[in-house]
Amino acid sequence: MFARKVQPSSPLQHRVRPASADELRRVPWWPLLDAAAAERVAADMQVANAEAGEFLCRIGRPATLWFGVIEGLLKMSNDSALGTPITFTGVPSGAWFGEGTLLKRESYRYNIEALRKSVVAGLPIATFDWLLERSIPFNRHVMNQLNERLGQFIAAREIDRLTDADTRVARSLGALFHPVLYPGVGELLRITQQELGYLVGLSRQRVNEALHTLQLRGLIRIEYGGVRVLDLAGLQSARPA
């Protein structure tokens, strides 16, 4: 059964609020900022509670924010109206994304949708540019993000061509445990089998079978409410048995 999507009473952009001190501490690049930068980011960052099924951005809209996930799970996908729907990647807690789009001043080339209730953040493009101009540590962080993102999407193209379901699930899980792009995940990913099915394009039942196969191979351990990685390199390099 699909997760019930709640119809919010007002658009997401009308429900933004300032970030709390705890939410700021959960931003992975927050410790890189000096006092002046931290003050500006704290004043400018927008936070909102997104319901399952809500979109943060859509294809063709102008890029105005650098997005982050304080808590929750999103998916990045194409426009199904233009052909076969493709999920590019999942976006778990701790992730920040869209920096390439902001740097190129492009419109969004993907949709971002909340798969569950999520706390999402947005940093205005003017503040993003200001940080790039004055903070070397922030610049290094963004450059590292771009480099890791390139590798992620090369891997995603390979995953998309896999026909073996167990391998698709293994590689997709390995991508979600990326320590640089998704530092908030750690060793335990809070995800349901239905949510994982949305990301890899498989039924919940088939995902369940694949997870138990991967557990028998010693790559993961299925826990209440999530999946714990035991062998990340094994997941990332998994091949059909």
How many other CB atoms are found less than 10 A from the CB of residue 193? 19
- CATH code matching the domain that covers 12-156, chosen among 2.60.120.10, 1.10.10.10, 1.10.10.60, 3.40.47.10: 2.60.120.10
Model confidence pLDDT, tens digit, residues 59-103: 999 999 999 999 999 988 876 665 566 777 788 999 999 999 999
Instruction: Enumerate residues 6+ apart whose C-beta is below 8 A from 116.
Output: 3, 52, 72, 73, 195
* 113-128 average pLDDT score: 95
Range of lowest pLDDT (120-124, 129-133, 235-239):
235-239
| Cα–Cα distance measured from residue 183 to residue 92, given in angstroms and rounded to the nearest whole number | 9
Kindly tell me if the per-residue pLDDT of 158 is higher than 80.
Answer: no
Strand pairing of 46-50 and 17-18? antiparallel
CA 158 to chain CA mean position, Å: 19
Q: Per CATH, the architecture of 163-236 is what?
A: Orthogonal Bundle (1.10)
| Cα–Cα distance measured from residue 171 to residue 179, given in angstroms and rounded to the nearest whole number | 15
pTM of this prediction? 0.79
Residue spans in the chain of domains classed CATH 2.60.120.10: 12-156
Mean pLDDT of the chain: 87
* 150-169 average pLDDT score: 76
| Cα–Cα distance measured from residue 126 to residue 114, given in angstroms and rounded to the nearest whole number | 25
Residue spans in the chain of domains classed CATH 1.10.10.10: 163-236
| Cα–Cα distance measured from residue 168 to residue 225, given in angstroms and rounded to the nearest whole number | 21
Question: What token pair was written down for 107?
Answer: 């419109």
